[in-house]
Structure 1
Amino acid sequence: MSLAEKPGVQSAHSRSAYAKITLRIVPLIFLCYVAAYLDRINVGFAQLQMADELGFSNAVFGFGAGAFFIAYICFEIPSNLLLERVGARVWIARIMISWGVLSALTMFVTTPVQFYVVRFLLGVAEAGFVPGVLLYLTHWFPGPRRARVISLFMMGIPAAAMFGGPLSGWILSSLDQAAGWSGWQWLFLVEAVPTIVLGGLVLLLLPDRIATAGWLSTAEQESVRNDLDRDAEGADREHNIRGALRDARVWWLGVIDMSFMLGTYAIGFWLPTLVKEAGEKDTGTIGWLTAVPHAAALVAMLIAGASSDRFRERRWHLVVPMLVGAAGLAGSTLVSDDIGLTVLMFTVANVGIVACYPVFWCLPPAFLTGRAAAAGIALITSMANLGGFLATYLLGWLRDLTASPMHGLMLCAVFLLAGGALVLRLPASEVNR
């Protein structure tokens, strides 16, 4: 028996190893996700000025925002397979630098076609980031530790929206017409810079695998590998790409994740506009008000991830938040004329939806590994991003058709209820790992 395998020593080495891994990796990928999500939702704030200045209708704006997801869906699987081949460090850095440049170029669009093209190219550039990081984390953390770590990574969603709201509102109001550029142009430029910088830091700092992490001792590396090996023992996992794409569970999870994405992007893209329509005209104040739902969601995500790992239970840690999210979205349609109640209902909705993410992403590694995990996770996120397209384009089209956000928000609530029903049909033995 090696030193790292002796129970007492192995436990001490495990604690030391995971503390180091968490400190060295998680803050960097968290900041990367903050930048990624900020680049996705800042278009919702840009709409406050951009739509009027360029004459874009809700449908045009919604389709342009949704073109990002069309590209993301098409290139998700190839991108994740390339990440598995060339390594996370190089590929994630490439993703971030290319999407940062394209996001900045959005400031120069003047026509709907230009808007569609740059958003599509942005989706091509960013495809593979989220599934790539999720796959990368499975190479460092075994199942019993995964929900808490994923929650730390996915805190980037509410954190970006929480800080991005006030920041975007300030840029729109304070930099408007500075150097002859509109506030929305400055918005795309300023918020693209951190993405490019972080891409460079990933290239310098992110280790590809345990063996290249020089800050782990030999005993610590062995301890983590043993944990990962034990986690894989006895699991009926798919290892090849074809098997993953033919596995009904992968498609099932894609539909469930789509229901989350519908609600997430409905809130992220349309909340600034809905707050403005409820009566608040100052862009700075709108930014602060839209931060409230995301601050609450950040806390809910941490609690959900820790609770799910502690009790080794996944299904009800998904279903209950999904019901809460659906109730919040449905309730928001009844209070659209009241700013305070609108923010409250979207806070309830966001708390429920965002709490699902760290728990949900513990499910695919329970039956996928290797290149099958790369393809399967990418397929799930591809299907989920169809929800992002529907949340942007369909809601924009419905708003133009009905002059009300009610129908689109109710549709998102129904999808969450349907997703919760699908979760209950997943066998507990397969998901509570």
Structure 2
Amino acid sequence: MPDLTVSRLVVVGANHRSSSMALRDALCVDDAMVPIVLARLRDACGLTQAMVLATCDRVEVMAFADDPGAAGATLTQFLGEMAGVETDEVAAQTYVLTGDAAVRHSFAVAASLDSQMIGEPHVLGQVKTAWRLARDAGMAGAEMEAVVQAAFACAKRVRSETHIAEGPVSVASSAVQTAKDLHGDLDRCSGLLIGTGDMAELMAEAFQAGGLKQLVVTGPRTALAVSLARRLDSHAVPFETLPEALHSADVVVAAVGGRTYALTLEQVRDALRKRRQRPMFLVDAGIPGDIEPAVNREENAFLYDLADLENIALAGRATREAEAQAAWAVVDQELAGFLKARAAREAVPAITALRDHLEVLRAEALAAAHGDADKATRLLVNRLLHDPMRALRDLAEHGDEAATQRTEALLRRLFALERGPDDKETKR
């Protein structure tokens, strides 16, 4: 039977709270690269069970190792080499979790409680993709299977038992509704998506689900724009042609998150002139912002950033916090149940060994008693007590009073023994 203890689990990662965007960009791997990374984890790090999760919010490696502490240091160094960054710098911006804490973290990630936008529905899909890639690479064993499937079950409970998806997740749907309030039905509108990350894709999918049929994708990295356009069944244009694409757009979503504005006031003014002042709905979904804030002063430019959309989507911060608390309660319940089940499974071999040992003693007692039942039971009792009594005497002789007391307490608990009248405690 394989060792399924979660004490061997280690998670090493960088997320939106622990690290800079520059480090996450350096660490980021797409799905096509994940098998290569997993092969390196196997060959260079000696891991046989590992999973790589890479999103706009995080890059994580989850693995099982005989020495999770040492594996954490090895994986930190590995991430540094992968990113071309000094190990000390990576270590300062990453987290290393082991055992129960690593399991809880994995549950929270799958349930989208550890995301930049809490409740994002596509996070679970990203975890499932990471798990599929690990399986395909032969890096998914019984231990990993147990944790990942439990994380999926936890995420399902969070979705079904809380309203967490109706809060932050509706940021995209609130953008769609606000655009409809301005333009009416979106099937007659043209859209422009600037950016290729997860948030850009999330917004685009929401607008397409809301009726937007004409969509153009652009971004600083042409290959990524082409790839995203293919997934969205739209078409891409070079980033250099952004001014030309802008004046045709009724709906604009910018989600680049760069150091400079992807869309300036002058560009929007020029587009509005070409549009004969037909209104434009603009969403700045970049972190940091991608659209110059002064755009909002233009009469026919309606600019909303993520904070504006959250205010529309949420009845208040208290509602989100209340739902998050309820979701975390589910995570902790699932964690407790998972650990209890694991502990019970790990106890089975010891119980089986004890039963086999007692059967041997019973057979020996029956053989020695030659059919005398009274003698057989007395022999069995003496043989059952022989090893425990010797162990207790050894503890007492070595002066280990604390160990003696713990062992005695364990014996009383295991065999439901009543305490004697001279004992300080009585059984309740």
TM-score (norm 2): 0.24
Which is strand-richer, 1 or 2?
2
Q: Which has the larger radius of gyration?
A: 2
Which is helix-richer, 1 or 2?
1
TM-score (norm 1): 0.24
Return the structure number with greater relative CO, CA threshold 8 A, min gap 6. Answer: 1
